């Protein structure tokens, strides 16, 4: 579900490894990602982190909605708390973390990329926040972070 490679001890590559499911993030995968980032935070030899998705179709399509369909409301809220912790942990890492985005980064996947210090996107990368189309709010920070990343658009003239 999550793999980690170390390049000469200085760069850690963390890969969301569920290409068959668009690298959708399950509760367990979110927990493992948080633990991996926390581990990197205390490893003094590590200078930077690259976060990517396996395969060429998706960086991540966000939360695994199939898993969510099976959850009680309490389990869903617990998962939401875990994902919030994951995003917070990524944002607080005191080492550069780079999102290497190939393919789609939708919903929570887009928010995960936005939580990184840098985003390097391939020509096939696309980003979206489709939560509103299924009745959800973008609760991982996009309403705050996306305008900062994109900047102000051109002003309309009367």
Adjacency order of strands within the sheet including 104-106: 58-60, 104-106, 126-128
Q: Give catalytic status of residue 74 as yes or no.
A: no
Q: Give catalytic status of residue 111 as yes or no.
A: yes
Question: Distance between CA atoms of 139 and 31, rounded to whole angstroms?
Answer: 18
4, 38, 74, 131: the active-site residue: 131
- C-beta separation of 120 from 101 below 8 A: yes
Q: Of 42, 58, 51, 41, give the one whose Cα is nearest residue 5.
A: 51
Residues in the chain: 158
Q: Of 119, 111, 116, give the one whose Cα is nearest residue 91.
A: 116
- Backbone φ and ψ for 6, nearest 5 degrees, come out as -115, 125
4, 35, 111, 123: the active-site residue: 111
Q: Which positions are catalytic?
A: 111, 131
């Amino acid at each position: 579900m999550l793999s980690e490679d170390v390049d000469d001890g200085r760069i850690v590559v963390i890969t969301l490894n569920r290409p068959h499911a668009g690298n959708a993030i399950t509760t367990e995968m979110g927990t493992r990602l948080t633990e991996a980032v926390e581990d990197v935070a205390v490893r003094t030899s590590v200078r930077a982190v690259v976060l990517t998705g396996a395969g060429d179709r998706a960086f991540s399509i966000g939360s695994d909605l199939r898993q969510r369909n099976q959850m009680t409301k309490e389990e869903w809220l617990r998962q939401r708390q875990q994902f919030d912790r994951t995003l917070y942990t990524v944002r607080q890492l005191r080492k550069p973390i780079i999102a290497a985005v190939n393919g789609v980064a939708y919903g929570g996947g887009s928010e995960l990329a936005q939580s990184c210090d840098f985003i390097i996107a391939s020509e096939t990368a696309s980003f979206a926040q489709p939560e509103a189309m299924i009745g959800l709010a973008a609760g991982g920070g996009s309403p705050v972070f996306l305008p900062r990343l994109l900047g102000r658009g051109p002003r309309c003239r009367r």
